[in-house]
């Protein structure tokens, strides 16, 4: 099987301004809350779940591992599928549709490695969180007492 590779930026933008883009989101929970990263790529300055596009010929599970390594510097264990997040009227490029996985890091997180300027755990989503992920966080991740 061919090794998945990224599209050139202009091709990526041309395609995904016209069709939905399939992504994975990594949800990491701890007693401190849910891990979010602060984007340093568009939409810059928003908190979000670590995640990214699934590359051509890449399985969602392999995309989870690649994103964990690229964005957090760790390998993860997939615990379970949490759901799907559809980003209608997205503030970034196109219309992403993301498969959200609950994952567990297999070693300490090394910090933001790429695409983020900070990572932090939150018990509730901060105000400047990407709307669709904020809604998912509130609906699925806040522990009810």
Domains and CATH numbers, the chain: 9-140 (3.90.79.10)
Neighbours of 93 (CB within 10 A): 16
Q: What does pTM read for this prediction?
A: 0.87
From first to last of its 145 residues, the chain has per-residue pLDDT tens of 566 777 777 877 777 677 788 999 999 999 999 999 998 888 889 999 999 999 888 999 999 999 999 999 999 999 999 999 998 766 566 788 999 999 999 999 988 878 888 999 999 999 999 899 999 999 988 765 5
For 27, 38, 106, 114, the CA distances from 74, given in Å and listed in that order, are: 14, 18, 7, 12
Give the model's pLDDT for residue 92: 63
Neighbours of 121 (CB within 10 A): 13
Residue 45, class by beta-carbon neighbours within 10 Å (0-12 exposed, 13-18 middle, 19+ buried)?
A: exposed
In angstroms, the CA 91 to CA 140 distance is: 22
Closest CA to 96 of 51, 63, 41: 51
Give the model's pLDDT for residue 132: 92
Give the model's pLDDT for residue 144: 56
In angstroms, the CA 26 to CA 4 distance is: 19
Structure-block tokens of residue 68? 């964990």
In angstroms, the CA 71 to CA 60 distance is: 16
Q: Decide the pairing of beta strands 116-122 and 95-105.
A: unpaired
Give the model's pLDDT for residue 1: 55
Q: Decide the pairing of beta strands 20-27 and 116-122.
A: unpaired
């Amino acid at each position: 099987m061919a090794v998945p590779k990224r599209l050139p930026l202009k091709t990526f933008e041309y395609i995904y301004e016209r069709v939905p883009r399939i992504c994975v989101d990594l949800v990491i929970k701890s007693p401190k809350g849910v891990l979010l990263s602060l984007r340093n790529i568009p939409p810059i300055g928003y908190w979000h779940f670590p995640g990214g596009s699934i590359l051509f010929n890449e399985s969602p599970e392999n995309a989870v591992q690649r994103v964990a390594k690229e964005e957090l510097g760790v390998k993860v264990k997939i615990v379970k599928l949490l759901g799907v997040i559809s980003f209608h009227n997205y503030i970034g490029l196109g219309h992403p549709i993301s498969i959200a996985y609950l994952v567990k890091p297999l070693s300490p997180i090394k910090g933001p490695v790429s695409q983020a300027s900070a990572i932090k755990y939150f018990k509730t989503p901060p105000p400047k969180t990407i709307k669709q992920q904020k809604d998912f966080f509130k609906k699925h991740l806040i522990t009810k007492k």
